[in-house]
Chain A
Amino acid sequence: MDWVADFWIPLIKAVVVVLVLLLGGAYMTWGERKICARFQVRYGPNRAGPFGILQPLADAVKAIFKEEIVPNHVDKIIYVMAPGISFAAVLITFAVIPFGPEVDLFGQRVGLWVGDIEVGLLFLLAIAALGSYGIVLGGWSSNNKYSLLGALRAAAQMISYELILGISLLAVVLLAGSLNLREIVDFQGTWPLLVLQPLGFLIFLIAILAESNRSPFDLPETENELVSGFMTEYGGIKFALYFIAEYTAMVVNSAIVVTIFLGGWKWPALISDLHPLAGVGLFLAKVLFVLFLYVWIRASIPRVRFDKFMRFSWKFMLPLAFVNLLATAAVVAFL
C-alpha cells in the first residue's frame, strides 16, 4: 500500500474540503443576510468587523455558550442525533463532486475531487435523500404539534421532489452516458448541459430548491404558521446545526447544479487551455453565482401554499419531467 497516495492525500483532502464547506456554510448565512438586506434597502449585519464579516463567528460563539435545553417530553437520543444526521448528510453529499482537474501539488499528482466513483450520481441522490431523515426524525422526536406538522410536510415535499430530481437527472445521464460526475463534467467540455437541457435545468432547479426546503418552498419551517416547524423545540447549538446544515446544503446544491448543468470547472470550448487552478476559480465563481440566484429567488418570490405546491409537483412537474426525458431520448435516438 502506498501510504502517501492512498491514505494521507485522501485524508488531507477530506479534512480540507469539510472545513471549506463548513466555512462556506457559515459565510453563506452572512452572505444571505447581507444580500437580502440590500434587496430590502437595509444594511444587514455591519457591527462585527468590517462589513459585519465576523458575524458568523459571533453567532457560532453565542450558540456554543447557550444553555443546552433538552425538554422533558422529547425522545432524547433521536432528538440529539437528528441535527447531526442532517449536517453530516449534507457534508457527505459533496464527496463525489469534482471541483477541478488533476494538478501537481507539492510533487504529487492530485485530483481535485474527494471520491471518483462510477456511480457518483446515484451516490449523490442516495446521500441527499438521507438528509430528510434528519429533519423528519427531529420533527417527530420533538413531540410537539408544530414540529410534527413540519416533519410531515418535509417528508411529503422531499419525497415528491426527489422523484422529479431523479427524472431530470435521467435525461442528463442519457446524454452523457455515464453516472460518473467527472465524466459528466468532461462531457460538457464543449458546451454546458444547460444548452442541451434547458427545460431539464429548470425542472432540476425547482426540484432542488424544494428538496433543500429553501424559499419559496420552505414549507416545513414556515415561521408564521408552524413557528419554524421541525426546529421549534431546538435551541442553542442544535438549532445552529440545523441552520448551518441548511446553508451548507445551499452551497453543496449549488455545486451540484454547477457540476451537472453549468459545466463544472470547465469553460465552453471558445476559450480552451485554462490553467488547472483557474478551473477551480471558475467552479467557485459559478457556485457563487448560483448561490446569489438562491438569495435572489428568496428575496423576490413569496412562499407558496402547501396543497398547491404538492399539486404542482404531482400534476405538473412529474409529467413534465417524463416528457422531457422521453423527448431527450427521442432526439438521441433519431438524430
Chain B
Amino acid sequence: MPADYLPILFFAVVAVVLSAIAVLMPALFGPKRPTSVKLAPYESGKLPIGPARRRFSIQYYLYAVLFILFDVEIVFLFPWAVVFRDLAPRWLGLAEAAVFVLILLLGLAYVWKKGGLEWE
C-alpha cells in the first residue's frame, strides 16, 4: 500500500530538514577569520606532498566486485526465505536454494584459491 509509506515520507522529510539546518546553521554564527594555513590540507603539520588522490590498492576494487555478486544473491534469496514455510515439499525448496548458494560459494572458493582475498 503506497499510503503506508506516507508516515515514512514525513519522517524522512523531518530528518532531512533537521540535517540541513544543522549543516547550514553555523554560517550564521561563529567568527570568520580564514588564513591560508588554516585552509590548507592537513598532513601532520607539514606542507602537503603531491596530490591527495593517489593510486590505491586494487584489492578495494576486487572486494567491490565480489560484493555485487553476493549482494545480488542475497536479494534473490529474500523472496525464497519469506515463502519458505509455505513451499509444498520444503526439502525441494531447500535443495534448490542449496544448489544456488553452493554455486556462488564455489566461486568464493575459486577466488580464495587464486589468492584474491589476500591483502597485499
Contact = CB atoms under 8 A, between A and B. Distances in A.
Contacts of A10: 6-7, 10-11
B119 A307 contact: yes
B114 interface: no
Interface in A84-114: 84-85, 87-88, 91-92, 94-96, 114
Secondary structure class of chain A's binding surface, majority of residues:
helix
Query: Of B19, B39, B86, which is in contact with the most chain A CB atoms at under 10 Å from its CB?
Result: B19
B8 A166 contact: no
B30 A71 contact: no
B23 A241 contact: yes
A73 B98 CA distance: 51
Interface string B57-92: 001100110110011001001100111111000110
A94 B8 CA distance: 10
A280 B105 CA distance: 42
Interface in B96-120: 97-98, 101, 105, 108, 112, 117-119
Interface string A121-163: 0110000000000000000001111111100100110011011
Contacts of A68: 26-27, 30, 32
Interface stretch (A29-37, A50-58, A169-177, A210-218): A169-177
Interface of B: 3-8, 10-16, 18-20, 22-27, 29-34, 38-44, 48, 52-54, 56, 59-60, 63-64, 66-67, 70-71, 74, 77-78, 81-86, 90-91, 93-94, 97-98, 101, 105, 108, 112, 117-119
Interface of A: 6, 10-11, 13-15, 17-18, 22, 63-73, 80-81, 83-85, 87-88, 91-92, 94-96, 114-118, 122-123, 142-149, 152, 155-156, 159-160, 162-163, 166-167, 170-171, 173-174, 177-179, 227, 232-233, 236-238, 241, 306-307, 310-311, 314-315, 318-319, 322, 325-326, 329-330, 332-334
19 contacts: A6-B6, A10-B6, A13-B7, A13-B11, A15-B14, A66-B26, A73-B41, A87-B18, A88-B15, A94-B11, A95-B7, A114-B11, A144-B41, A145-B52, A148-B54, A177-B86, A237-B26, A238-B26, A319-B108
